[in-house]
Chains A and B, each alone.
Chain A
C-alpha cells in the first residue's frame, strides 16, 4: 500500500511503499533520541521513496553507517538511510498522512533506552550488539 507524507511545514513531501502493512522500528539509541527528543519511530520502506517536493531537504551524516534527512524550514526529522543509499530508507511514521494499519515490529538499540519510559507492546527487543550483527 502506497503511503504519502510530509514535514510539518509541507516543504518536503514524499510517497512510498512500506514493507508489509507498515512495520515500525522504534530506535532507542542516544543519537536518535538527541535528534528527535525521544525514540525514532520509523517505517521500513520497500523500494524507492519518491520525493515529490524536496528543495528544503537536508542530509546530515551522523555516522559512517547513517545519514538523517530533515526539513531546513521547520526542522522536522524525516528520513534515515545508509549514506547515499537509494533503497532501505526508514521514514518518520509521524510524517505520514495516514497511519492506519501500521504496527510496531521491533525495538532496536534497546540497551540505550533510558529508564523513564517503556513501551507497552511485546514486539521483539534487540540490543545494539544484535542490531550490528543484523545490519540495523
Chain B
C-alpha cells in the first residue's frame, strides 16, 4: 500500500515543528493507562520515518518506562511523540499533523486496558498488553 508521502506537523504553539517522509496511512490508538494519563484519552499514533525537527530545544522528554520516552513541547504541553529508545522508533501524535487526510485507524493496542465508557465505531485489529510483550520480548520484566 502506498504511503501518504511527506507530511509536516507542529505543536499547538508552534515552538516545535517537524516533517516526516513516507508516513503510512495506517494509524493506531493506544488505550494503556500511561497513554491515557498523558493524553486524557487514547493516544493516536503513527510511524514517522525520516523524521526531522525544528525547535528541538523546546522538546521535553520524559522517560515513562525502561524502554520508552515521551516527547512534548515544553511551552504549550502538546504531546508530540512516544519513542522506543533502543529501536529509535518514533510514534508521532496524529493530532499534530497539519494534514490528516488519508489516515485510517487500523489498530488498537492495549485494548485490555481500555475503560468501558468509550468505544470506537471502527472495526480494527486489536491487541492486548501481553501481545505487545510477545512482539517485543526483550521488554518483558523491565
Q: A residues near B, CB below 8 A?
A: 6-9, 24, 26, 30-42, 58, 60, 62, 68-77, 92-95, 99, 102-104, 114, 116-121
Contacts and interface: CB of A to CB of B under 8 A. Distances in A.
Grouping DSSP codes into helix (H, G, I), strand (E, B) and loop, the B interface class, with mixed when no group exceeds half, is mixed
Grouping DSSP codes into helix (H, G, I), strand (E, B) and loop, the A interface class, with mixed when no group exceeds half, is mixed
A32 B73 CA distance: 14
A76 B38 contact: yes
A77 B93 contact: no
Contacts of A60: 12-13, 75-77
B74 interface: yes
Given A75-B71, A93-B41, A119-B120, A38 B95 contact: yes
B117 A38 contact: no
A33 to B, nearest CB: 3
Interface string B55-91: 0000010101000001111111111000000000000
A34 B121 contact: no
Nearest to B26: A116
